[in-house]
Structure 1
């Protein structure tokens, strides 16, 4: 009886862990609007940093067109590399702590954070285009 209970508990724990993870989201070559060609790389960088900062990501410039963004709520940490040009941007997994990353899957909150960042970048770049038109 105890053995059955142990197996049942192990099965429930496994289901819980699997339910909390999802395939890792990579935003690759997300196109900017054509009007982004009228913005400088510095303006694009400023828009991306503003978008990330509004969600409490800290951003460090690595080089022209390349940023490292870190989000650290509670005891979790997510790091992404943001590559961008005047045509497109990508948000790629770099590192994490306490997010159940195993090479192909990660805690589903990570995907929500990255999706929010993607949408915010698109919104901020559109606002910058509108402000310069």
Structure 2
């Protein structure tokens, strides 16, 4: 009986590890070159539009600094989005029920952050195209 418990514990541990990955930090992701012709407000609007389209809740901390929270089901992910007219970063702040342990986190977090990154790039590129 004891060996069955050990095997089951080992399998459960492997399952938990399989669901986690190193935490994704998007750092200094460049905008298109022409984004420097946009105002900080235009870039902020594009970031907020991208985030809210994915159901992130966004709050402004200061010029060039936002917080965004995504809360599907019983999970919560909170990030800080720092940006200039040249680049942006999406940095982990906090989470609930995502198995964060200081270096790894549930794989869904990384997918959510990557989707947010791609959508921000797309929205800023669209603003650049409209302003040209």
With the shorter chain as reference, the TM-score category is: over 0.9
Any unmatched runs of 5+ in structure 2? Answer: none
CA shift for structure 1 position 97: 0.2
Match of 1:123 in 2: 122
CA shift for structure 1 position 44: 0.2
Helix, strand or coil for the counterpart of 1:67?
Answer: strand
How many correspondences in the alignment?
Answer: 132
Verify: 1:18 aligned to 2:17, yes or no.
Answer: yes
Match of 1:62 in 2: 61
Q: TM-score, normalised by structure 2?
A: 0.99
- In structure 2, what is the Cα distance between the partners aligned to 1:33 and 1:127? 10
Give 1:1-133 correspondences, 5 Å limit.
2-133=1-132
CA shift for structure 1 position 33: 1.0
Structural RMSD (CA): 0.3
Please identify runs of 4+ aligned residues in structure 1 that moved more than 6 A: none
Any unmatched runs of 5+ in structure 1? Answer: none
Helix, strand or coil for the counterpart of 1:106?
Answer: strand
Q: TM-score, normalised by structure 1?
A: 0.99
